[in-house]
Amino acid sequence: MPLHGDSILAVGTVAFDTIRTPFGVRERVVGGAGTYAGWAASRISGSVGLVSVIGEDFPQSELEQMQAAGMDLSGVELRQGEKSFFWSGAYHMDLNTRDTLATELNVLADFKPVVPEKWRNAKWLLLGNIDPVLQLSVLDQMEERPQLTVLDTMNYWMESAMDGLLAVISRVDVVSINDDEARQLSGQHSLVRAAKHILSMGPKYAIIKKGEHGALLFQNNANGALEFFYAPALPLEEVVDPTGAGDTFAGGFLGHIARCGTTDFDTLKQAVVVGSALASFTCEAFGAERIRTVSEEELLERVDTFRTLVDFTPIAAVAI
């Protein structure tokens, strides 16, 4: 598969998750940041080069489905005699908060990502949620700075690897994190101040994800003033499993940008909507089931729902 203009390189875990929600349990479904991001991006853009590691317990049929969807797995190391990364978590009633029940690093313990030769000049790079040291290693292997690099991370790395995380943040274009994490990273409660703080750390754009409340996109415009965009989340009647929603968002976000080939604020706003729409599908089923079957028609319809959801007739006058 040759590298095209819309090909995306992504690093992230390919793993097993056992997920408990108040409404059910699923044992060892295929998950991981790389899996969700890869499925999301490859559905709407060109090929996705995944950089990851799996054990011999990872099912061949899954790998075949990923390849059929346009994922190049030449950067996914297969370790014979070892087990894939495993995570288990239990969601609370609100399906917004969760406890980690188990983390088994397995193959991830001493993973050294290797970017395949032909992917080292990819224009679009997604540093999915994984140890910042590994994200830095991927950055270092690129021949030149990609046109846009998106970093997704989580609070775990703020507690255990802050130095590495700060180093990665200073070298990317977009940081995508959730609201609590933005507050933790910046020491600011106000999300506007948190975004300003993150933008001062190097990135051109900051995305703050608010789960069921949507996502905010920030940039400093040409005049140095903060500009922002708010994509609300679609209110869902039933959230089955939010695992991977953030990874799906990141993959869909960069997928849309890669497909358009432009990185202006207008394209990024659209990309936040496309990422949010894809993430809403991920929440509708356990694991990555829904994201791999969503049709173009369904996705376009949902994107349009995001538009009509917030659309109102302009208000010409208020009397005071």
Q: Does 4 contact a copy of itself by CB under 8 A?
A: no
Judged by CB under 8 A, which stretch of 40-48, 57-65, 151-159, 199-207 contacts a copy of itself? Answer: 40-48
Q: 201 exposed, middle or buried (CB, 10 Å; 0-12, 13-18, 19+)?
A: middle
Q: How far is the CB of 176 from a copy of itself (least distance, A)?
A: 17
Q: Are strands 24-31 and 48-55 parallel, antiparallel or unpaired?
A: unpaired
Q: How far is the CB of 236 from a copy of itself (least distance, A)?
A: 7
Record the tokens describing residue 282, joined without a space: 């991920």
Instruction: Give the ranges where 48-204 is alpha helix by DSSP (H).
Output: 60-68, 132-141, 155-160, 162-169, 179-186, 191-199
Q: Does 222 contact a copy of itself by CB under 8 A?
A: no
Among 160, 189, 261, 262, binds a copy of itself (CB under 8 A): 189
Q: Does 68 contact a copy of itself by CB under 8 A?
A: no
Give the binding-site size for a copy of itself (rule: CB under 8 A). 50
Q: How far is the CB of 193 from a copy of itself (least distance, A)?
A: 6
Contacts to a copy of itself from residues 265-294, by CB under 8 A: 266, 269-270, 272-274, 294
Q: How far is the CB of 177 from a copy of itself (least distance, A)?
A: 15
Q: What angle do CA 301, 271, 177 make, to 5 degrees?
A: 120
Q: How far is the CB of 318 from a copy of itself (least distance, A)?
A: 5
Record the tokens describing residue 166, joined without a space: 């700060």
Say how far apart CA 215 and CA 205 lie, in whole Å. 13
- Phi, psi of 166, rounded to the nearest 5 degrees: -60, -35
Q: How far is the CB of 110 from a copy of itself (least distance, A)?
A: 37
Q: Are strands 86-91 and 15-21 parallel, antiparallel or unpaired?
A: parallel
Structure letter (DSSP) for residue 243 = T
Q: How far is the CB of 146 from a copy of itself (least distance, A)?
A: 21
Q: Does 94 contact a copy of itself by CB under 8 A?
A: yes
Cβ(207)–Cβ(198) under 8 Å? Answer: no
Contacts to a copy of itself from residues 223-252, by CB under 8 A: 228-232, 235-239
Give the residue with the Cβ less far from a copy of itself, 19 or 115. 19
Q: Does 312 contact a copy of itself by CB under 8 A?
A: yes
Q: Does 209 contact a copy of itself by CB under 8 A?
A: no
Q: Does 166 contact a copy of itself by CB under 8 A?
A: no
Query: Within a 13 Å sphere around the CA of 149, how many CA atoms are in the beta-carbon half?
Result: 22
Reported in sequence order, the residue ranges of the chain that DSSP labels E, i.e. its strands, are 8-11, 15-21, 24-31, 48-55, 71-79, 86-91, 98-104, 124-127, 148-152, 174-178, 205-209, 215-220, 226-231
Q: Does 163 contact a copy of itself by CB under 8 A?
A: no
Task: Kindly list the residues in this chain that would bind a copy of itself in the complex (CB under 8 A).
Answer: 43-45, 93-95, 189-193, 210, 213-214, 216, 228-232, 235-239, 256, 259, 266, 269-270, 272-274, 294-296, 299-300, 303, 307, 309-310, 312-315, 317-320
